[in-house]
Homo-oligomer: A and B are copies of this chain.
Amino acid sequence: MRTRPLKVALLGCGVVGSEVARIMTTHADDLAARIGAPVELAGVAVRRPSKVREGIDPALVTTDATALVKRGDIDVVVEVIGGIEPARSLITTAFEHGASVVSANKALLAQDGAALHAAADDHDADLYYEAAVAGAIPLIRPLRESLAGDKVNRVLGIVNGTTNFILDKMDSTGAGYQEALDEATALGFAEADPTADVEGFDAAAKAAILAGIAFHTRVRLDDVYREGMIEVTAADFASAKAMGCTIKLLAICERAADGGSVTARVHPAMIPLTHPLASVRGAYNAVFVESDAAGQLMFYGPGAGGAPTASAVLGDLVAVCRNKLSGATGPGDSAYTQLPVSPMGEVVTRYHISLDVADKPGVLAQVATVFAEHGVSIDTVRQQGRQDGGGDASLVVVTHRASDASLTGTVEALRNLDTVRGVASIMRVEGE
């Protein structure tokens, strides 16, 4: 074994960074044996240097992250700051100074993955980021390496633990969104500002990364259709139950049937209770991958948290260190298919639509005509008079598969019908 240690600079020492530092210390011998050389924590860049960090030599702590990555003797930079800047500049500077990079930064990778990969290539450096998607669950490496000889057609999963916790709570207790969110916040599963999670930005970043890797093309955050889950109601869960479903916030990346384009989207959807994703509880994540030869694979585990995310970071750290020693780089960016990303309108899916309609003859015929005019075939209709006897009825329509554009057009036209008092809810149906 080489005795001169590989030097690691840690950028950020919060929930994930402190776990990375802790494991690097407690498991130093194991890491050395697995890498073939010892690894040494050579510096830790933080914002608040006065904070006491157990197990970290204060002499290693600095507020000057830029100087740390410019030192020239750093082999690997571990970036767990998050956000776009200064993370992006620090990573680029790290490459320029001979370091490889392990990052957990989904937002940055989704926005600037292409440029960062190009910078890594320019300097014969590695850029690894298993921890950016679904925490501890190995997903980037299986997609990029294990399935490198296969053709992936679909990635479908729960990739945000906060929203899954909230939806699971709404499902199991009948709570409304706000009540479930409050509990998630109290238990530490939601941040003080939950926008990135509940509006689907976090899941969309992960969808962009997964789609790019799965289909060997370029998918940016802006390419991902995104609907959050703040409008999901207890009534939606009741509707879902009535058709043997539950509701999950899904990230879905698909290759078009003709193979010529891909789509990526994040939205709440009804899925059958019999689907394995339906039983993913609490803050867990799970991702289905469908490919030509392998068929259906599922990956399940903790999607966030300090230790699980650190596990993914350290797996990458070992790989990058091994590459450093052998003088090679790992499988990097692969976007050779250059498949375009189609807009949401071209996605083929199913709708569950709940309408408030006038309770009089001919309404169903009118509604059915609108669907037919938009080329949308109806699977089932459930009609019932309302309990309040107000002359209104409720009409629940579940469609067959159609383009999202046709479905949107149908709903627009329904809203314009005199006999339709309102569209109570619209939700896509997936996983069948």
CB distance from A1 to the nearest CB of B (A): 9
Residues of chain B within 8 A (CB-CB) of A279 are: 276, 279
Binary interface profile of A, 88-131, with partner B (CB < 8 Å = 1, else 0)? 00000000000000000000000000000000000000000010
Max count, chain B CB within 10 A of own CB: residue among A34, A294, A311, A334: A294
Evaluate contact between B331 and A329: CB separation under 8 angstroms. no
Whether B149 contacts A311 by the Cβ 8 Å rule is yes
Asked if A377 is at the interface (CB within 8 A of a chain B CB), the reply is no
Nearest B residue (CB) for A291: B311
- Interface status of A57 (Cβ within 8 A of chain B): no
1/0 per residue, CB under 8 A from B, across A299-334: the answer is 111100101101111111111001100111101001
A307 and B334 contact, Cβ closer than 8 Å, known pairs A314-B149, A318-B145: no
Q: Contact between B314 and A293 (Cβ–Cβ < 8 Å)?
A: yes
Flag whether A58 is at the interface (Cβ < 8 A): no
Interface-central residue, A150, A151, A216, by most chain B CB under 10 Å: A150
Flag if A293 contacts B311 (CB, 8 Å). Answer: yes
Q: Which of B23, B216, B295, B296 sits near A34, CB closer than 8 Å?
A: B216
Could you tell me if A336 and B33 are in contact, using CB atoms closer than 8 angstroms?
yes
Taking a contact as CB atoms under 8 Å apart, the answer to whether B301 and A294 are in contact is: yes
Please determine whether A136 and B298 come into contact, CB atoms closer than 8 angstroms: no
Distance from A20 Cβ to chain B, minimum over Cβ atoms (Å): 9
- Determine whether the beta carbon of B23 is less than 8 Å from that of A293: yes
A292 to B302, CA, bound (A): 12
From residue A26, how far is it (CB to closest CB) to chain B in Å?
9
Judged by a CB distance under 8 angstroms, whether A171 is at the interface is no
Whole-angstrom CA separation of A150 from B316 in the bound complex: 11
**What's the interface size class on A, roughly?**
35 or more
Copies assembled: 2
Contacts of A2 on B, CB cut-off 8 Å? none
Which one of A145, A308, A319, A334 has the highest number of Cβ atoms from chain B below 10 Å of its Cβ? A145
Question: Whole-angstrom distance between the alpha carbons of A315 and B291 in the complex?
Answer: 12
Indicate whether A295 sits within 8 Å of B315 (C-beta atoms), given known contacts A31-B149, A33-B334.
no
Kindly identify, within residues 149 to 176 of chain A, every residue whose CB is under 8 Å from any CB belonging to chain B: 149-151
CB nearest neighbor in B for A328:
B328
Question: Which of B276, B291, B315, B323 is A300 in contact with, Cβ under 8 Å?
Answer: B276
* Residues 380-424 of A contacting B (Cβ, < 8 Å): none
A19 adjacent to chain B (CB < 8 Å):
yes
Check if A47 is an interface residue, CB within 8 A of chain B: no
Query: Does A15 sit within 8 A of B, measured CB to CB?
Result: no
Among A19, A23, A149, A314, the most chain B Cβ lie within 10 Å of the Cβ of A149
- 29 A-B pairs with CB atoms under 8 Å apart are A23-B150, A27-B151, A34-B216, A34-B331, A34-B334, A136-B297, A141-B141, A145-B315, A145-B318, A146-B312, A148-B318, A148-B319, A149-B315, A149-B317, A293-B308, A293-B310, A294-B311, A294-B312, A295-B301, A296-B301, A296-B302, A297-B300, A298-B298, A319-B331, A322-B331, A326-B328, A326-B329, A327-B327, A328-B328
Kindly list the 7 A-B residue pairs having the minimum CB-CB distance in the complex, ordered from nearest: A149-B314, A328-B328, A138-B146, A136-B294, A293-B311, A148-B318, A294-B311
